[in-house]
Structure 1
Amino acid sequence: MPLSHDQITRFLKSVHPYDALPSDTLDDLANQIEVWEVEEGSPVYELGTTLPGIFVVYEGQVEITDENGAVVSHLGLRNSFGERGLLKDGKAATHAHAHTPTVLMVLPPNVVRDLIDNHDVVAKFFDRTRGERTSPQSLATSSIDTLMARSPAVCPPSMPVRKAAQMMRDRHISSLCISEGDKLLGIATLRDISGKYVADGMPESTPISTIMTPDPITLSPFDIGSDVLHVMMERGIGHIPISEGGKLVGIVTQTDLTHYQAVNSAELVRRIAHADSADEMALVTAEIPQLLVQLVAGGNRHEIVTRLITDIADTVTRRLLALAEKKLGPPPVPYLWLACGSQGRQEQTGVSDQDNCLMLDDSVTEGDMAYFAKLAKFVSDGLDTCGYFYCPGDMMATNPQWCQPVRVWREYFNGWIAKPNPEAQMLASVMFDLRPIGGTFDLFADLQADTLAAANANSIFVAHMISNSLKHTPPLGLLRGFATIRSGEHRNTLDLKHNGVVPVVDLARVYSLQGQLTEANTRARLKAAEAANVLSSSGARDLLDAYDLIAETRLEHQVRLVKSEEKPDNYLPPSALSDFERSHLRDAFVVVKTMQSAVGHGKGMLG
């Protein structure tokens, strides 16, 4: 079907990033676009062929498959494809064919490059790596949205001062916003109450409006910390209401600023290291969600954020071990406490349970085991108190199966490698992420090296581990390129853990196994796999870029929940994303799916 210039222009105005182009640029772009009509089942392009440009679906559906014929994505209205290959080397990185009768718009390569060179919004859209994050922000450059306390206490102007003072006392706050409906009328502080109401001996029935500061200066959530500091210094005030669209949405106080500066990972680690009980540590770990918000808002990359948060969990664990030894006495034999799961990989976010185990020196006796059972319970109970909840699968040192001498651990790993049934695959996957946390680290060194060598030498075990790594797949489907959860509490959302980061975590574990690499962290594994020639440079770069985007999206989702005073989780509704974000997230999932397909077809060296 031929499309008129006006039809093309109107359509492009509904597709990001072209909707942000100046009208004259958009008009010129419409003149240079080609329109293709592709019959159902016919190819759009084949793998390795020179791409004629970037495609945008105007009508119909396109199926994308990899070199092995595996479907990696279904694309529909407004979805674009072909850009990864075009911007990389000009060659198609996948196959594409029309799943239904389809109409496509084609943007020629010279047009795309010209748009990228001259329009930042287009350059940003096609930036696969998202670039380096900016350097961490200070209090002065942080967004007020990060600094402010939400849901500020409010009262009507008629409320008696005495009742208002009681309200402040009961809520442990130093100010009240006075409002009628959504309209902010004024603000009253404890200083106003003492300096006016008490000092002047006003009657008990005096309304709060009598002593309030009317029409207080307000700031927007989109202002920055320096604006708060400058207003406070210039006007000699300690409370600033925050409004958006004329509606009160928060307040910033001097206490908030102090708290913001105090909440950093080093300070939390210091307080935990000096705590005398799990309850004391729990008061500190309760600040982790706010730390998450600040780290992400401060421009830190996801691997830095998760590393700092994991460091806190490590400190909690070591402090609990020290307190356990103080209570129970010195251990009868050397031991090593290890973490697996996200803590083992140093990838904890705002949502974490505990996965851990104990390795004991082979000189341990049956009589000694009671000591380590008590130690395991003390530490695991303490971790639970601190918000690292008990593992639903009982992968904890409190389970006698995971509190054993090193010789038994050798038997475990040898058994899993020799007979890789589904349970063995699952256990091996968990235990290959082990990382020593506290105790005698030497107990693990030889065991790790020997296990990796034995696992790598057993081709059947490696094949089973590869198969196991493909059980979690990216959520690619028809609707906007995503397949959401279909039922239950998290219906119509994407599971950014099990269908987002876990597929990459599993791939990295396989590469680590193939290269006998000792790293546990996912990014470190991918880089080490590239260095060891287990993974090609282009494969490592693509997978790292995809992983970074998925992991960043997950953290940003958790931060949005924390800022809305909700519990962070991994379930993202696609509707929360812009077209720009959806497009890039979908492309990241396509990369992961393609890499899974390559590994599944026995291609460890990915190009």
Structure 2
Amino acid sequence: MRPGAMTAESLVRETVAALRAHAPFSEMTIEDVDFVARHARLQYFGATERILEPGVDHPPGCFIIRQGGVEGVLPGESGGVAASPLVLGAGDLFPMGSLMGKRPPRTRYAALSDLFCWLLPTEHFEQLLARSEVFTDFCRRRMAVLMELSMRAVQANYSAQSAQWRLMSQPLRAMVRREPVWCRADTPLGEALATMEREMVGAMLIVDESSGGPIGIFTRQDVIGRIVLPERSLDSPISAVMSAPVSALPASATVADATTLMADRSIRHVPVVDGGRVIGMVTERDLFALTRRNLRQLSDSIVRATHPEQLISVAAEIREWSRSLVAQGVAAHHLTHLISRMNDQLTRRLVAMLAESRGIDLASFCWLAFGSEGREEQTIATDQDNGIVFDDTCPPESQTALLALGQSVNQWLDRSGFPLCKGGIMAGNPECCLSLSHWQTRFARWVSHGSPQNLLNASIYFDLRPLAGNMDLGQRLQAMIAPSVQQSARFQKLMSDNAQRSNPPRFLATGVLGMLAPESGSVDLKLQGTMPMVDVARLLCLANGIIQSGTVARIEALIQHAVVDANEGRGWIDGFNFLQGLRLRVQHLQPAGVPLTANPNLIELDTLSPLDRRILVEALRQVRKALQRLTLDYP
């Protein structure tokens, strides 16, 4: 072999090794990475040197950063510095939007420092798309793919805490152990019960023979209340006692999806369907076989509690249970939803117990959740944000009793691990225990005459969700908020200005610059990450008359109403979920019994893997893009 050829082969091997240190090349076949190495050319750019200019008809190809940093700036911005700059580092690719859309680039790219990058010519970039599904998938949904890789690393890292962490990400198809036990709607009760006993199952599915889809369900828990006590004839059709409609999930849904559904609907059985036909059933026992305490056990402990003191230990178990779910790899949006659902149950029981002990009728008021609880986005480090609304006809002595009830609930929640709100947004505060008309007047005053500071203090109220008691009162209050905001351009502008006070940090090749903690290597994941995204989603929904409480649900609704582009919205969701996931890892993966740090949302960058640092850069860029949307809508 000629010496030159040997040198060339050595260079290819070196390039392959360098590429495989980064996604997506780390997931691609060696043959496809070798293809890149053989066709890419290494290039050098000096600090501040322009790499690509907007309007270039055809970018020369895909740039892959080997060493150094690149900043992308949208043209026409003051001083040439973008409000939402694209900052890239080792392993990043650009200009992806231009290459995938086959259009001129819209961004000016320049080197931040001495820069070495490979250039894969457009011709070979397109050939790579055709030959590598992994590469194509990455190019189409970069953020989601990086998050999946990060979650795999988290799960592997914490697998010692939960030997079978893979459970929560498994498709339900893999959980189906047997053929479904089912019958027709006209099957006599006696025959259906005999089948359940013979097959040793806790539930019978009622299926439409023509479609094969589930139309109802009957469980052992229904026997006493629906058959024995009413003395119903066993010749009656099972359709007379079945629960309908039935909550089912597709076979492609995950265990985490089923877990969330069970928590939402307070059910123990979920039929699994494929192509509309039922293929089996999963139970709560199937899904939580790996945890010491499952949803049903925790729920039963809450229901059986006869004194608030008993709920203190249950609250601690909920926090420990949630830690185990993090270790099992449950996605952030599932986990925060589950935590919120369990905390909802605990709060409802506490409110009911204390109301009963004081002779207060639950129908006379509604307990309201605000903030993260209202959005169903609670983490372990969550204080209280709640209130009470009662009917305008409520007499003064009853109003006094409701205020005292609110104060008592607040104190018991504090003892259960939910700290008192430093801002006083609690039902025990007279300003948060109001009649329906007073609440409406308060919201109307904020919308019509509120100052920027009033708005800063009041934003948390706009995430309200009825939680306990007379839900109609809460729903009536909830329904009037969006229309009032939708009609006030002034208030929308104030909300936009308030949201844009946030300053997500910029990452450079040399570190992190921006509004950070005293230690420059830290990021406040709440103040600089999730909170501005919450603000953007809230405002855009209120401005468009959309009633939703959760941030992800709000963004999905904005996509459905064509307020936000689908690709843009999915980027926001991915960024938000990753930031929430990092918050959970900071808060939940501390050793049991160790107090939370002074700021449980602060993360030290040197504790992150290179992959997670890379995703964090992208997630914060999504936050800046969302804020930039407000800049365009509310100049």
User: In the alignment, residue 460 of structure 1 is paired with which amino acid?
Assistant: R
Paired position in structure 2 for 1:584 = 615
Paired position in structure 1 for 2:321 = 291
Once the two structures are TM-superposed, the CA of residue 292 in structure 1 deviates from its matched residue by 2.0
CA contact (8 A) 1:483 1:494 kept: no
Once the two structures are TM-superposed, the CA of residue 416 in structure 1 deviates from its matched residue by 0.9
The 3 A distance-change label for structure 1 pair 431 and 47 is farther
Instruction: Could you tell me which runs of 5 or more consecutive residues in structure 1 were left unpaired when the two chains were aligned.
Output: 149-257
2:577 to 548, 551, 568: 548
1:311 to 316, 321, 341: 341
Q: Deviations over 1:508-527 (max 9, x none)?
A: 10111121111101111111
Q: Deviations over 1:184-206 (max 9, x none)?
A: xxxxxxxxxxxxxxxxxxxxxxx
CA–CA separation in structure 1 for the residues paired with 2:145 and 2:27? 19
CA contact (8 A) 2:68 2:90 kept: no
Q: How does 1:488-499 map to 2 (within 5 A)?
A: 488=518, 492-499=521-528
Moved more, 409-418 or 62-71: 62-71
User: In the alignment, residue 72 of structure 2 is paired with which amino acid?
Assistant: I
1:573 to 585, 591, 604: 604
Once the two structures are TM-superposed, the CA of residue 297 in structure 1 deviates from its matched residue by 3.6
2:22 to 16, 31, 51: 16
What's the secondary structure of 2:52's corresponding residue?
A: strand
Paired position in structure 2 for 1:105 = 118
The 3 A distance-change label for structure 1 pair 276 and 111 is farther
Once the two structures are TM-superposed, the CA of residue 10 in structure 1 deviates from its matched residue by 5.3
Once the two structures are TM-superposed, the CA of residue 539 in structure 1 deviates from its matched residue by 2.3
Q: Does 1:528 align with 2:535?
A: no
What's the secondary structure of 2:468's corresponding residue?
A: strand
CA contact (8 A) 2:332 2:578 kept: no
Once the two structures are TM-superposed, the CA of residue 591 in structure 1 deviates from its matched residue by 2.3
CA–CA separation in structure 1 for the residues paired with 2:325 and 2:491? 40
Paired position in structure 1 for 2:370 = 340
CA–CA separation in structure 2 for the residues paired with 1:105 and 1:132? 24
CA contact (8 A) 2:513 2:520 kept: no
The 3 A distance-change label for structure 1 pair 25 and 314 is closer
CA contact (8 A) 1:53 1:106 kept: yes
User: In the alignment, residue 96 of structure 1 is paired with which amino acid?
Assistant: Y
The 3 A distance-change label for structure 1 pair 66 and 267 is farther
CA–CA separation in structure 2 for the residues paired with 1:77 and 1:147? 34
1:129 to 107, 125, 144: 144
Paired position in structure 2 for 1:503 = 532
CA–CA separation in structure 2 for the residues paired with 1:585 and 1:117? 29
CA contact (8 A) 2:365 2:390 kept: yes
The 3 A distance-change label for structure 1 pair 536 and 580 is same
Paired position in structure 2 for 1:197 = none
The 3 A distance-change label for structure 1 pair 532 and 332 is closer
User: In the alignment, residue 55 of structure 1 is paired with which amino acid?
Assistant: F
Q: Does 1:411 align with 2:418?
A: no
CA–CA separation in structure 2 for the residues paired with 1:594 and 1:371? 48
The 3 A distance-change label for structure 1 pair 28 and 65 is same
Paired position in structure 2 for 1:63 = 71
Paired position in structure 1 for 2:101 = 89
Moved more, 88-97 or 513-522: 88-97
The 3 A distance-change label for structure 1 pair 28 and 79 is closer
Q: How does 1:458-497 map to 2 (within 5 A)?
A: 458-479=488-509, 482-483=512-513, 486-488=516-518, 492-497=521-526
User: In the alignment, residue 433 of structure 1 is paired with which amino acid?
Assistant: D
Q: Does 1:54 align with 2:62?
A: yes
What's the secondary structure of 1:330's corresponding residue?
A: coil
CA contact (8 A) 1:44 1:98 kept: no
User: In the alignment, residue 335 of structure 2 is paired with which amino acid?
Assistant: V
Q: Does 1:276 align with 2:306?
A: yes
CA contact (8 A) 2:483 2:545 kept: yes
CA–CA separation in structure 2 for the residues paired with 1:42 and 1:582? 25
What's the secondary structure of 1:363's corresponding residue?
A: coil
User: In the alignment, residue 415 of structure 2 is paired with which amino acid?
Assistant: T
CA–CA separation in structure 1 for the residues paired with 2:320 and 2:56? 48
Length-normalised TM-score, structure 1: 0.70
What's the secondary structure of 1:130's corresponding residue?
A: helix
User: In the alignment, residue 597 of structure 1 is paired with which amino acid?
Assistant: Q
Paired position in structure 2 for 1:145 = 160
The 3 A distance-change label for structure 1 pair 104 and 339 is same
The alignment-based identity, stated in percent, is 25
The 3 A distance-change label for structure 1 pair 440 and 416 is same
Once the two structures are TM-superposed, the CA of residue 275 in structure 1 deviates from its matched residue by 1.2
Once the two structures are TM-superposed, the CA of residue 96 in structure 1 deviates from its matched residue by 2.3
Q: Deviations over 1:575-597 (max 9, x none)?
A: 22222222222122212212211
Paired position in structure 1 for 2:478 = 448
Q: Deviations over 1:261-307 (max 9, x none)?
A: 33223321221122123331121111233322332343433222111
Aligned-pair RMSD on alpha carbons? 3.8
Paired position in structure 1 for 2:166 = none
Once the two structures are TM-superposed, the CA of residue 456 in structure 1 deviates from its matched residue by 0.9
Q: How does 1:137-286 map to 2 (within 5 A)?
A: 145-147=160-162, 260-286=290-316
CA–CA separation in structure 2 for the residues paired with 1:385 and 1:551? 26
Once the two structures are TM-superposed, the CA of residue 309 in structure 1 deviates from its matched residue by 0.5
The 3 A distance-change label for structure 1 pair 456 and 365 is same
CA contact (8 A) 2:578 2:619 kept: yes
CA–CA separation in structure 1 for the residues paired with 2:621 and 2:529? 11
CA contact (8 A) 2:363 2:469 kept: no
Q: Does 1:80 align with 2:92?
A: yes
Q: Deviations over 1:68-121 (max 9, x none)?
A: 633434647626242641574244464323455655432334555666777798
